[in-house]
Amino acid sequence: MGHKAFKLMHNPKTMTSLIEKIRSLYLEHPLAREGFEGVGYPESFEHYISLVGSYPQKSLSLGCIDSYGLDLAILLSHLPARSVADSFGNDILIWAWVNSPDIHVKKKLCSGLSEIIQYDVDVLEKTRLAAWKYMQSNNTLLVKKSLDLIHWLNNGFCIDIDVPSYIRSFPKDGVQLSDKRCREYSLAPLNTREKNTWGYSKEWNSRIPMTDKHISIFLDTYVGMCLNYKGIPNAIVGYFIPDPDILMIKQLQGVRPKRRDDSDKNIQTLSSRGLAPIQWDKLLVEISINLAKSLGICEISIQGGYNNTWVHERNSCFTLPIEKAVMRYDNLAYSLGFEYRNDENWYKKI
C-alpha cells in the first residue's frame, strides 16, 4: 500500500492549506456535505472546520495525524474515498476509516478503501475489529501492519519460503530425514471466515478427500499458517500484532484429524504422522521469526500460557489445563531465549 504525504505549509500563498483543501473537496462533492448534515453530529460543519484549523499544522502522516483528533476524521470520512486518497494519500484514508465515529459512514468508507487498495472488505474489517478487541485501540499503524501480515501470508510468504531446509534443521534427536521426506512438508495460510477475529478456519473444516477423516481448525486469532505433511495440516501457528513492531504467536498446536462414521459423528482421533520426526514447535517459531523480519518487524513474542484464552474457558469443550499451556508456550519460549515481561508474555529482539 503506497501513500502520498500531504505536507502543510505555514504560508497559504505558496500551498493550499488543509482547511482550504477540505473546503474545496466539499464544494466538488456537494453530496458529502449533505451526508455530513444528515448524521446529526453535535456540532456544525463550520465548528469542526474551525477546530481543525486551530491545531498546530503538521504534515499529515500516521506519526502525527492523531494530534488532529476526531474532528478531522469526521470531516474526511464524509468525502469520497478516492478524493481522500488522491488528496492526502492511502494512509490518511485508512486513518479516516479507522477513526470515523459513525458506523454507517465507516462502512461506506471501507467499501471505497477496498476498491482502492484491493483488499477484501472482510479482511479490512477484521483487522480493525481485532485492534479494538485485543488492544482497545484505534491505532491505524496496528491495523495497517495487520493488513500487511494477512497480505503477505496469503500472497507469497508460504510459497517463497524454503520449507525443506527448515525441516532438515529441526529433526528430533537421533532422527535422520531424507530429502524426499523433507520435500513432503509445506506451508499454507489460514484465515478466519468473514470478519471474525477468531474462529474456524475457512480453509479447513471438511473431510480429507477420498478418506473418512475430517479436519477442523479453530484459530485463536484472525490469521496464521499451517505446517502440512503430504498436503494435510499437521500443526498450526496463529498470529497477532499487538504493536507495529511486534509479531505475537498466540497459538501453537498440533492438528489431529478425526475419523467420522456415515452419520458424521466422531469415532476416533488420529495422530499427526508428520510431526513425529521433527521439533515442529521450534521450527514454526523459527519460521515466524523469518516472517517478522520480512515484514520489517523487530521483535517476536510468544503469548504466555496463563494468557491463553482456553485456560480460562469454563463453558466450552475446548479447555486447556494451565500446566499444559505453560509447557507448550512458556517452557518453549524460555528454551529459545525469550525474555519474560510484566504482561506475562515472552519477547525476543530479532
User: What's residue 16's pLDDT?
Assistant: 46
Round the CA-based radius of gyration of the chain to a whole number and report it: 24
Could you tell me the strand order of the sheet in which 223-229 lies?
A: 185-191, 223-229, 232-243, 246-254, 299-302, 346-349, 339-340
Grid coordinates given for 239: 498470529
Length of the chain, please?
A: 350
Of 254, 327, 255, 332, nearest in space to 300 by CA? 332
Rounded Cα distance, 189 and 209, in Å: 19
Per-residue pLDDT of the chain (350 residues; tens, 9 = 90+): 443 333 433 333 323 488 899 999 999 999 999 999 999 999 999 999 988 888 776 667 777 787 677 899 999 999 999 999 999 999 999 999 999 999 999 999 999 999 999 999 999 999 999 998 888 888 899 999 999 999 999 999 999 999 999 999 999 999 999 999 999 999 999 999 999 999 999 998 766 665 777 898 999 999 999 999 999 999 999 999 999 999 999 999 999 888 767 666 766 677 788 999 999 999 999 999 999 999 999 999 999 999 998 997 766 666 888 999 999 999 999 999 999 999 999 999 99
Q: What is the DSSP letter of 183?
A: T
User: What's residue 328's pLDDT?
Assistant: 95
User: What's residue 180's pLDDT?
Assistant: 97
User: What's residue 5's pLDDT?
Assistant: 38
